[in-house]
Amino acid sequence: DTGVSQDPRHKITKRGQNVTFRCDPISEHNRLYWYRQTLGQGPEFLTYFQNEAQLEKSRLLSDRFSAERPKGSFSTLEIQRTEQGDSAMYLCASSPATGGGAFFGQGTRLTVV
Amino acid sequence: GQNIDQPTEMTATEGAIVQINCTYQTSGFNGLFWYQQHAGEAPTFLSYNVLDGLEEKGRFSSFLSRSKGYSYLLLKELQMKDSASYLCAVRGNDMRFGAGTRLTVKP
């Protein structure tokens, strides 16, 4: 396990379609974070998990967004009925439960046309 | 909630030293982190402070004052490849990021 991996790296979808992204964290990391980033901005927090428990979800996250981490390992982020404003880089990061920094995957770039 | 503020842009000369400041307000504190992000790439971890003081790692140093809600990242002997965005992040119950400081290193 060399790091956090995300799949796919790029996704182009039509407005109104559903998309799902996958993140595989560093295996010994308990925490997993999802962020969204647009050009010129810092990563915007979406949600995070400790093991399989989703501990916090941003109020910015509409009901169209849902994330799961069913076995406390990989996680999925689903966006339903995509809108053009959802176009962004979706970043996943993982960290130990206590101490230490979060390490990022390469991200999934979503383009909604 | 959390507020994290850092300058939007900075410019410095190759070989010089630059200090990037970050101020924060947070309801809980479990560490302050600095990341480097080149355009089109994911952030990469640079440094981590949980106690007050200076942490040095090669050309990069980071300082933290918890009582002041203040940190800085110091980059020495600047190189052209240091041109990037530098993100300040605070770990409370979750981990939140500032908007980033875009550093341009000129010859």
Closest alpha carbon within chain B to A102: B45
Residue in chain A lying closest to B86 (CA): A42
Q: Identify the pLDDT of residue B1.
A: 57
| A107 shares contact with chain B (CB less than 8 Å) | yes
Express as a percent the part of chain A with pLDDT over 70: 97
Instruction: List chain B residues with CB under 8 Å of A43.
Output: 43, 87, 97
Average pLDDT over residues A51-65: 88
Span A12-18, average pLDDT: 98
Sign of CA dihedral A6, A9, B94, A64: negative
With a cut of 60, say whether residue A1 has pLDDT above it: no
Across residues B33-50, what is the average pLDDT? 94
pLDDT at B59: 96
Instruction: Collapse the DSSP code of A110 into the 3-class scheme (helix H, G, I; strand E, B; otherwise coil) and give the result.
Output: strand
Mean pLDDT, residues B54-66 taken together:
95
| Contact between residue A111 and residue A87 where contact means Cβ atoms under 8 Å apart | yes
Res A82 pLDDT > 80: yes
Mutation for B interface: A9, A37, A106, most B CBs within 10 A: A37
Q: Say yes or no for a CB contact (<8 Å) between B42 and A104.
A: yes
pLDDT score for A96: 87
Chain A closest-CA separation from residue B37 CA (Å) = 10
Best mutation target, A36, A47, A60, A95, to test chain B (most B CBs within 10 A): A95
d(CA A29, CA A49): 11
Question: Distance between CA atoms of A69 and B103, rounded to whole angstroms?
Answer: 36
User: Are B44 and A104 within 8 A, CB to CB?
Assistant: yes
pLDDT in tens, B5-21: 999 999 999 999 999 99
